[in-house]
């Protein structure tokens, strides 16, 4: 008969939070994966709305000279414009976010199961996630598009959350996770 070690209270709490954070990371990664497609749909919708606002309702009363683009059209195009690298970057970061979310879930399960070295893997997964979040903040600001501000906001929130979890694990008594 084998005896399963009972996880310390701090490990149980951090493990459950880590599972929630990992699941949210995977969901946010799926949302990020769809971002280039959503951006294309929004650009098409803005172009159609702009065209409908600029076209006269009665074609016979159309002026001979084309009217300049409306101010709304220019604002929407500026908000939806993105650098050429943003769609590929968004897809790559989404895949990385989903992989790190899965790693966080697995490390959290190992932490709850009191596996040797689980504390290190937990801190490693969250540390890499924090680094990814800081990169997302920087690249989101560099892109400057309307949809990149999601990356900035979630990156800031994720960085602080990951940092708090790593620091909480670091200051805890991790003797139960030493090699047997």
The C-alpha angle 172, 11, 126, rounded to 5 degrees, equals: 80
119 and 168 in contact (C-beta within 8 Å)?
A: no
Q: Given this model, what pLDDT does residue 54 score?
A: 65
Residue 150, pLDDT > 70, answer yes
Q: What's this model's pTM, rounded to 2 decimal places?
A: 0.78
Q: What is the average per-residue pLDDT within 7-26?
A: 95
Instruction: Return d(Cα 32, Cα 1) in angstroms, integer.
Output: 47
Q: Given this model, what pLDDT does residue 60 score?
A: 60
Q: Given this model, what pLDDT does residue 62 score?
A: 53
Mean pLDDT over each residue of the chain, to the nearest integer? 84
Percent of the chain, pLDDT > 90?
52
Q: Given this model, what pLDDT does residue 86 score?
A: 82
Q: What is the average per-residue pLDDT within 71-91?
A: 75
Output the CA–CA distances (angstroms, integers) from residue 158 to 57, 58, 117, 127, 163, in the order listed: 49, 52, 24, 11, 8
Instruction: Render pLDDT for 93-108 as a digit per residue (tens, 0 to 9).
Output: 999 999 999 999 999 9
Q: What is the average per-residue pLDDT within 15-34?
A: 93
- Would you report the helix, strand and coil content of the chain in percent, each value rounded to 5? 75, 0, 25
Instruction: Return d(Cα 82, Cα 40) in angstroms, integer.
Output: 10
């Amino acid at each position: 008969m084998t005896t399963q070690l009972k996880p310390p209270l701090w490990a149980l709490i951090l493990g459950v939070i880590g599972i929630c954070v990992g699941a949210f990371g995977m969901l946010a990664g799926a949302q990020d994966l769809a971002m280039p497609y959503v951006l294309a749909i929004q650009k098409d919708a803005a172009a159609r709305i702009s065209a409908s606002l600029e076209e006269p309702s009665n074609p016979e009363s159309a002026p001979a000279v084309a009217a300049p683009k409306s101010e709304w059209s220019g604002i929407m195009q500026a908000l939806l414009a993105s650098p050429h690298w943003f769609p590929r970057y968004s897809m790559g970061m989404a895949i990385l976010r989903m992989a790190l979310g899965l790693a966080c879930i697995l490390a959290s399960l190992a932490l709850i199961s009191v596996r040797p070295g689980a504390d290190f893997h937990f801190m490693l997964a969250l540390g890499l996630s924090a680094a990814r979040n800081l990169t997302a903040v920087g690249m989101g600001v560099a892109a400057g598009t309307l949809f990149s501000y999601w990356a900035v906001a979630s990156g800031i929130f994720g960085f602080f959350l990951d940092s708090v979890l790593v620091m909480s694990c670091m200051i805890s008594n991790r003797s139960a996770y030493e090699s047997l």
